[in-house]
Structure 1
Amino acid sequence: MKLNLHLISLFLLGLFSLSTVHAQYDYMSIVGDATSAGWAANGLQLDQNGQIFTYRGELKAGSFKFHAFNGDFCEGEWINATEDGQALTATDYIVTTGCEGPDNKWSVTTPGSYSITIDLDASTIQIIELDYYPNLSLVGDATPGAWSLDLASDMQVDELNPALFTWTGDLVAGSFKIATIKTFDDGWDWIMPLTQGQDLGLTNYQVTLSGSGTDNTWIIDAADAGKYDIRVDLESETIAISKSAATKIPNFDASNVQVWFNETNGQLTVDMNDQTEGNVTVYSSTGSLITQAKGMGTIVLDASA
């Protein structure tokens, strides 16, 4: 009798130990009609750091779940919500196998930018809505990757200012716009000029849903091809497009340029001594665009902001 009791105790101990072992994966993707990948079984792959998986990107109205296997729907395991339509603020989840279910999903009612972190060791999920797009990419035949989303020119987000994105590179004759997520499907935000071929010196832009009928682009003429600096400030909703300092300007002598700032009225005067037409862009100490002007000879700007 004692032997039997010991065996039962060991068996129960084994069951308890198994139940406390956390799932371990080397792959995770987000799947659902709230994502740009839709209901493709392999979805959008998450970034991995040990057993922590993260996604930062756009989600639109719809639902999603996570696939822990790069294969068909009934293969591998899934991370599901504990109940269907679970609130995004909840931190718990369940693990299901293949198509066995329950097929609970998280629901997005407010389209926007989100950060999702799955910590397998802690068995938690954290879903946070972000203030700004976490990713911006230049797309168009004026860019190095042309109209390929796989080769899109990703902008760099400032480490201290999540609203500020920059890119420096070569632009050729053609056009471009800015993607907030890499898809041409309808219903996703694009950053584009207010009008087709808008002057590169203008700083305003609009955010438009793909498929809405508006598809404006900035245009680079053959004579203006070269290396450019592009800066997008999502907080002030401005864009600055200017020739990079690395682009040579024929017969331009920087030593002849004079700059004055009038502290009384906030005016900045740039005298280029009639050398050539140029762009003058003024930024604050935090990198935000203050003002920009294009002209020849003497340019006067209001830099009082």
Structure 2
Amino acid sequence: MKIMKAIHKSAFLLGALALAACNEEVDNAYSRHNFVVEINSSAQTVILDEDAADETALTVEWTPAAEYGDDYIVTYYYQIEVDGSKSEAVTEYEDTGNFRREYTNADLQDMLVNHFGALTSSYCDVRFTITVSFDGPTLIVPDEATVNVRVKTYGPKQFEADELYLSGTGFETPVQIVASESNPRLFVWTGTLKQGTVYFPVVYGDENNVIVPASGADTEIGETPMEAQVLGADETHGGWKIPADDEYRVTVNLDAKTVTIIPTSSIVEIDKIYLAGTAAPEAEIEVAQTLENASVYAFRGELNAGTLYLPLLYDEKTEMSFVPAEGNDIHDGEASPYMQVATSSVAPNNRYWTIPDAGTYRIVVDLTAKTITFRSAATDLKNTVVSFNKTYTNDGTPTANPYEMEVTQLWMYGTFNNYERDPVNTDYFLGISDTYSLRQSLANPNIYVYKGAVLPRKSGNDGNNGNKPVTGSVNFKVAPWNYNVYCYGSTADAAQKQYSGYTETSLGQSLELVEGQGDNRFAYFIIPEGCNYVEVDIEKKTVVFDNRE
């Protein structure tokens, strides 16, 4: 089939008609009573057949227009459009008297999918229009006729469902799963499944299909979304293997083309975590999410001797709580498993940890590992202590050599902020600001994190490098002093009063730190563009610059 691209539009004809109407008399008698063109198709609905690609699938033909005599030139414009397509219409001129078009299955498939962008194995509404114009001494309104045909393409099936069901040996009777009210592309079901396999029958238009593992074979479930595919209901397929009788949450995501099947006991939905029980000194003490890991929550503070459990706030309710997987021991200094139970069942079943003595405790909850770690003062991680030659008295203490201090905060220093002063802490040295400090992690006192606005990458003169301008340089001080202080710098070669060194970085890259009060103070990192997160581990001597939500 030879198709000429859109070279003339009926809209142009109407525009020309409107313009001409200003200067010519319209023959109203003809325009009202002589519309005679008709266009017809061999079918109103066509299902294309890939196995009969070269056979005729559709015929479109039209009748001749009215005769106005030899003084008029008659032109036929034949046009094909698809509802909802952004592609231009396919348009042909016809001046040979051939008022019939035939399309094979392959012709229509190629035109609809490759030109109009129709989906495979889907319906689309195709509009065929014939417009006849008359060029002669009297202006005559063009004659036009249209026929619509619904065509279904062939090819890979779409990941779509008008109705979706859960079936298989892991389910006693197929059940329909309804779409989420907030997201019609998400189907969610919670209930009991038996050991066996499951898959998802779907009805889409006139098709009966199934959603099955992407491999097509039986597949073990995991706690992350699993890739899926759509096959015809009559095709051989596998399913997802349910390991044991249990309650599960099942999610089918049509946009992501994934299936998730998770035991409800493994699902943790959290807005906040609190401390509760007789060991909690007051109500609603929060176990905070750490900056460095969204799956880790931590608390450090005073607890009473007594009972403790962790209610989970979700959707403004605390219906579930973390409790020991077994027993009541805190296993001081060791990670131990927790489990999730209804908060209402905690007291009746003595589901809590026993805090043996009042005092300061660090609690770390790891949602990924599903463990909780209690650390009393006896087992708690200690702040790192550094020793250096203290020459300043800004902190109200005298100079000393050696001077020892616990590290509890880090400050960025370099040309990245062009040595701006802290607007509040006037005793801070030039270039040092709390705005660009790293806070100590609640989970690990050796980890320090900056998370906030994207860091500036300004230029400034490096006094140790001949006052040459440098863009975006930074290292890390243990006190708000800019010179003679303990520092974590880069591995770049540097020498005091001679030259500075610079290490290029990229987002997400882990780099080595060099600590001390030597030439490392003049060894800098160059902050990568878009960096809003910095994590320094002074125990492992690493730094990561990144962009994180």
TM-score band w.r.t. shorter chain: 0.3 to 0.5
**Higher RCO (CA < 8 A, seq sep 6+):** 1
Bigger Cα Rg: 2
TM-score normalized by structure 2?
0.25
TM-score, normalised on structure 1?
0.37
